[in-house]
A = this chain, B = another copy of it.
């Protein structure tokens, strides 16, 4: 059937008639999900490795792979600035970071943040899935900005694990911007003790490795999962921390709330030698082109928030000593 014999209607009537809706749902934990109005379904492809979608919701345009939000227009800068700058500035507090490696990073937004440092001379990024990179350039072009035309940037489609293993290059910063270690997912080996031990040998003297570390929701983690943690745990934040600690002298965990992920999100920063404090605002002015204006989320106060973990998360971490190895992996929900 179809309409006929009518007249244009006003906006207020439109609302009144909203009897249907398109919705995007995503599980956060078993038994908890968020549900966002779907404003557009921009791309939906099955790559060789995963299902790739670009949708538009409350959070703006959003990249989804295998049903998990990877980053969203409204807070991708929070996710990416949090991933990149603490590691870069940690090195910068000792020596200018010049050679950088990114594992994953298909949206090119991690690369965008790295290239804000004028001291960077070479940035190598190795992502497995060309489809993701292509889709992001088409549908999320401003996330990569002028990355691909920057002569310092080198994009390799391939396996980050093999690349690191076989290359003799050393890096000032290695940034692991890869999918969560879910069962049978593509990136499990990149979260193991074995990988971190190899990666360590590819760092320069003051080099730093940082990895996104999945959800780090202190309260549900500590409360709902206070029963002995299992090998399919909703959170891998602590195991990743522990595993890095088995390979590096200093590992600093930090977290920030990413609304489009529906929870607090974790990262771990690893390097040799003792922990050292950094003066964030001063280093930003010194190293980043455009200084504070070029950052939308990160500064010294934000840094303080991220690195001050809540009591229940600290307590949960203190009693979990699991380590991820090739033979004894741990999977996220």
Residues of B within 8 A of A37 (CB): 31-32
Instruction: Flag if A103 contacts B178 (CB, 8 Å).
Output: no
Q: How far is the CB of A146 from the nearest CB of chain B, in Å?
A: 19
Taking the full assembly, how many copies of this chain does it contain? 4
Residues of B within 8 A of A262 (CB): 34, 262
Instruction: Flag if B105 contacts A6 (CB, 8 Å).
Output: no
Instruction: Flag if B31 contacts A40 (CB, 8 Å).
Output: no
Closest to A301 in B: B308
Instruction: Flag if B17 contacts A66 (CB, 8 Å).
Output: yes
Contact of A304 among B40, B104, B186, B304 (CB under 8 A): B304
Binary per-residue interface labels of chain A (1-43) against chain B in the complex, 1 for a CB within 8 Å, 0 otherwise: 1111111110001101111111111111111111111101100
Chain B CB within 8 A of A118 CB: no
Chain B CB within 8 A of A98 CB: no
Chain B CB within 8 A of A311 CB: yes
Chain B CB within 8 A of A113 CB: no
Q: How far is the CB of A101 from the nearest CB of chain B, in Å?
A: 11
Chain B CB within 8 A of A219 CB: yes
Chain B CB within 8 A of A70 CB: yes
Closest to A159 in B: B5
Binary per-residue interface labels of chain A (58-69) against chain B in the complex, 1 for a CB within 8 Å, 0 otherwise: 111000111111
Distance in angstroms between the alpha carbons of A122 and B275 in the assembled complex: 47
Q: How far is the CB of A129 from the nearest CB of chain B, in Å?
A: 5
Instruction: Flag if B3 contacts A178 (CB, 8 Å).
Output: yes
**Number of chain A residues close to chain B: CB under 8 A:** 114
Chain B CB within 8 A of A86 CB: no
Binary per-residue interface labels of chain A (230-266) against chain B in the complex, 1 for a CB within 8 Å, 0 otherwise: 0000000000000000000000000011010011100
Instruction: Flag if B184 contacts A1 (CB, 8 Å).
Output: no
Q: How far is the CB of A128 from the nearest CB of chain B, in Å?
A: 4
Distance in angstroms between the alpha carbons of A52 and B38 in the assembled complex: 15
Find the residue from A31, A59, A69 having the highest chain B CB count within 10 A: A31
Instruction: Flag if A128 contacts B6 (CB, 8 Å).
Output: yes
Distance in angstroms between the alpha carbons of A75 and B159 in the assembled complex: 41
Residues of B within 8 A of A212 (CB): 1
Q: Known: A9-B49, A13-B184, A259-B263. Is A20-B126 also a contact (CB below 8 A)?
A: no
Distance in angstroms between the alpha carbons of A212 and B2 in the assembled complex: 11
Closest to A75 in B: B219
Chain B CB within 8 A of A127 CB: yes
Instruction: Flag if B78 contacts A219 (CB, 8 Å).
Output: yes
The 7 closest A-B pairs by CB, nearest first: A6-B186, A2-B106, A20-B67, A305-B308, A5-B161, A20-B26, A304-B308
